Structure 1
Amino acid sequence: MPFKILFFALLATAIGQSVVLTTLPSLGRETGLSEFQVSVIMSSSACIFALGTTVWSRVAKRRGHRRLLMLGLTGYTLGTLLFAVVWTLGLNGYFAGTALFLALLLSRSLQSSVMSATPPSAVGYTIAISPASERVKSISKVTSANNLGQILGPTFAGALVGFGLLTPLYAVLLLTVIALTLVYKKLPASPPSPATSDRDRHHQVRNASLRPLTALLIALCASVFCAMAMLQQTLGFFLIDIYQASTVEAAQGVGLAMMLSAISSLGIQLAVVQRTHVAPEKLIQIAMPLLCSAYLLMYFHQSLWALYAAMVIMGLAMGMAYPSIAAAATSRCHPDRQATVTGMITATPAMGYIVGPPVAALFYGVDERYPFMVAAAMVLLFTLLASLKLQAFRSA
């Protein structure tokens, strides 16, 4: 039961985030905001989110994961409502230009400061009830909600966007309220501690001092999400400028692309990651080159079919990468530092969105395809660094 509740809590927020990312470029164009202003809204809120997750993960260890999870869901609900109201005012002409930009920036930042309690609380609760030998599977069970949210979110947005660009954003509030109710009524306040085997104790002692490897794994995870942020910042504008899509068609196209990626990601997690006994380091070494190839295909593609194929490949890679990196990083640290590492790992998606959108906007201004190439080069660099370090770790 705890896994199901944690899964739904992350699912509700993942659908909400997917709806925002799907509609944001179209909302920006509709209200006259530039690509750079849209990227600043995304990256600034992501910066606050990244800082928040590292702080909330330590608070959760002292105050309890359930309590912080409820706080995060409450902040997400109220923050989404505020963000949607500001967009509504902008679309109706009450805010425009710099005033609209600043109002959106403030509302999104306020939301991020509180909703950032959700991921570290959910993942921290999962780690607390999972032995180290089962950590990849356990983390995958919970974080696969993000993939399902990316499937349902674009579908949700695509179905409702015809009634207005903001309709999906208002509708998603119902899901976070349900998630908050489930956590309050059904989730135990204190997670039961898993039995610690001799193998797990040996694993912790052997890896307690591997801080450079842990830091590299965190950086690797951040690079994965930075590349994804560059893609999501670029894709809506790319469909408008290259494929001559309208703002509504672009939102639907982004939704379809992200949905295909999420379906493949969820599929690989259910069929392979949650069933395999392969070490997380091996899964990482499979996932990262696959991710590089996906971004290269996006750069060279000449048709929408090729673009969608690249999104499927990216989904496969992401489905293997994140739970494997998270499991490897939280298992290769001293137990006293686990809350800190958990906070940093759950902050990596936000870290990616701090750097990714403005970098993508900068290169997009030079050439519409450059963000894809830059993303591929960055992922390749961290793949090589990680491969060397993991090879040294296995040889030790």
Structure 2
Amino acid sequence: MDLRQSSVLILGLVATAIGQSLIFAILAPLGREVNLGELQITSIIAISALIFALASPWWGRFSDRVGRKPVIITGLAGYTVGTLVFTSVFYAGLAGALSGLTLYAVLLLARCSQSIVMSATSPASTAYAADHSAPTTRTRTMARLGTANSLGTILGPAVSGALAAFGLLAPLYFAAGLAALAGVAVWRFLPPTPKEDLTARNRRYRLRFTDPRVRHYLLSATGLFVGYSGIQQTLGFQLQDKLGLSGIATAQLTGAALMISAVFTFTSQMTLMQRLNLSATQFLRLGLVAMLFGAAIIAAFDRFAVLAVGMAFIGVGMGVSIPAVAAGASLAVSTEEQGAVAGLVSACPAMGFVAGPIIAGFLYQIHGPLAALFSAFVFFVVLVLLTLHERR
């Protein structure tokens, strides 16, 4: 994959990652501003994530037939329009035009509708990268692609903190504009899939999550994101309640914590993933150990400095785990199945966000530290299962 192709792909993924990290940073305080409960706030992410998970495999297979470029553009356009609608509904809630269960229902509908279309970008981008990389460089290529999400997560909280001074909705409008610009860049500068390649992939390959070649990667990735989303979606509540912060201050510190994690994710992808000659499962086990330590620290934090250490461990774990899953699954299947397997891999984070936020949000209402301890337990179980699979 040449420099222009990788740069355009990274730009599209950075734009969506910035938007997602903005939403994660401000959703907790913004939800409380419109009088939504913790479980309502986390369920918006969880249910829309389920829709994302169901749609991603279809988009991956669709990109095998029509090409990666139009599917990527479709996803970015859907993200732009969906973010504008989602933000406008919150504006109506802040203005008092919508409230209570009506506001919750409209927000949920807007976010789920957005998820159907924006789920196109990730599998098509991952499949494009697999199409243009050799098997021997696949892990490094996926790690470089993973830096796009890391950069977005680094920049997103910084943008959120700066724009939150103009109101909690300002960062979301910015995210919509950025995704639109990324879509234009992909349309202008990303080379399309050659017609002969589309003809060769014309048959439909319907991979399943239970395929023995990739199921251990998919189960591990789903478990990773169950634990990670549980931490991420209760982070704002923990900061606000433990440190007694205002809504804007909570958004800013939540963004700072996510940015710390993203910096360590980016660093691990640019150093460990590029220099260590490990297999995909070895990288995955290394990441799980780091995330287990991070979750334990977050469960016990009493000041921001301690939380920052835990988020650093989480960042390292995510940095080496997710590219390892993408590369391992890609190498396990044939050339004709790259779009299909990319769709399944892209569905794993969304499936994790279905269960993680709801369980963690429920546990947080019982006792705050239980949310992070639940994540630590999930990481431990996944690590044990992956180790047993390797021995078999």
Relative distance call for 1:214 and 1:246 in structure 2 (3 A) is: same
Question: 1:278 aligns to what SS in structure 2?
Answer: coil
| Corresponding position of 2:222 | 222
Query: Is residue 166 from structure 1 mapped to residue 158 from structure 2 by the alignment?
Result: no
Distance 1:169 1:124 in 2: 28
- The residue number in structure 2 matching 1:345 is 345
Any conservation in 1 of the 2:73–2:187 contact (CA below 8 Å)?
yes
**Would you say the 8 A contact 1:211–1:333 is kept in 2?**
no
Q: Give the superposition deviation at 1:147.
A: 0.7
The alpha carbon displacement at 1:339 in A equals 2.8
Letter in 1 for 2:135: A
Maintained 8 Å contact 1:151/1:260: yes
Match for residue 66 of structure 2 among 54, 63, 68: 63
Question: What amino acid sits opposite 2:35 in the alignment?
Answer: G
SS at match of 1:172: helix
Distance 1:80 1:145 in 2: 20
Pick from 13, 30, 33 the counterpart of residue 33 of structure 2. 30
CA RMSD of aligned residues (A): 1.6
> Do 1:128 and 1:191's aligned partners in 2 also have CA atoms closer than 8 Å?
no
Percent identical across equivalent pairs? 34
> Aligned partners of 1:338 and 1:390: how far apart in 2?
24
Do structure 1's residue 368 and structure 2's residue 368 form an aligned pair? yes
Show the counterpart of 1:234: 234
Q: CA deviation at 1:48?
A: 0.6
Aligned equivalent of 2:83, options 80, 85, 89: 80
Contact 1:129 1:193 in 2 (8 A): no
TM-score (norm 1): 0.92
2:187 pairs with one of 152, 159, 184: 184
In structure 1, the residue matched to 2:330 is 330
> Aligned to 1:113, which of 107, 112, 116?
116
* TM-score after normalising by structure 2: 0.93
Structure 1 stretches of 5 or more lacking a match? 195-209
Q: Once the 2 structures are TM-superposed, how far is the Cα of residue 288 of structure 1 from its aligned partner?
A: 1.0
Structure 1 residues 192 and 315: CA distance shift in structure 2, 3 A: farther
Structure-2 residue corresponding to 1:202: none
**CA shift at 1:40, angstroms?**
1.4
Verify the 8 A CA contact 1:54 1:343 in the aligned structure 2: yes
Q: 1:253 maps to which residue? A: 253
Give, in whole Å, the separation in 1 of the partners of 2:331 and 2:196. Answer: 16
Report deviation, 1:172: 1.7
Q: Is the 8 A contact 2:124 2:342 kept in 1?
A: no
In the TM superposition, what whole-angstrom CA distance separates every residue of 1:252-299 from its partner, at most 9, and x where no partner exists? Answer: 111000000000110111122134332222211211111111101111
Report the AA paired with residue 219 of structure 1.
L
The answer to whether the 8 Å contact 2:146/2:269 transfers is no
Secondary structure at the counterpart of residue 242 of structure 1: helix
Contact 1:137 1:275 in 2 (8 A): no
Contact 1:125–1:191 (Cα < 8 Å) also in 2? no
Distance 1:354 1:212 in 2: 24
Count the aligned residue pairs: 377
Q: Secondary structure at the match of 1:277?
A: coil
Alpha-carbon separation, structure 2, partners of 1:292 and 1:192: 46
CA contact (8 A) 1:227 1:356 kept: yes
**Native 8 Å contact 2:22 2:160 kept in 1:** yes
